Structure 1
Amino acid sequence: MYKETNKRSIVKGISWRIVATTTTIIIVYLFFGRLDLAIAAGMIETVLKVGLYWAHERAWFKIQWGRKKIEPFNLWFTGLPLSGKTTIADKVYTELEKLHIPIERIDSKDIRDLIPGIGFTREDRNRHMYRIGNLVRTLQKNSISTVASFVSPYKESRKTIRKMVKNNIVVYVKADVETCQKRDYKGKYVKALAGELKNFPGVNDVYEEPQHAEIVIDTDQLSADEAVVIIVKYVKKHYVK
Structure 2
Amino acid sequence: MNDFVETPVEYPVSIWEGVAITAGAVLLVIAGLAGLGIKALGNAFDAERAEAIAQSLMTYEIPGGSRGFFGTNIGGGKMAVVTSIATVTPATSPGASPQSPQSIPTVELFLARMPLVAPETATEEPNPSPEPRNELFSGFSFSFQDPATFQVNEARTEEKPVCGMITPVEIQQGSLTVASDAAPLPAVKYEAKRVLDDESHIVVISALGDRAAEQANQVFNSLVCQ
Same fold (TM over 0.5): no
* Structure with bigger RCO (C-alpha 8 Å, 6+ apart): 1
Indicate the TM-score class for this superposition, using the shorter chain for normalisation: under 0.3
Question: Which structure has the highest helix share of the two?
Answer: 1
TM-score by length of 1: 0.22
TM-score by length of 2: 0.23
Question: Which structure has the highest strand share of the two?
Answer: 2
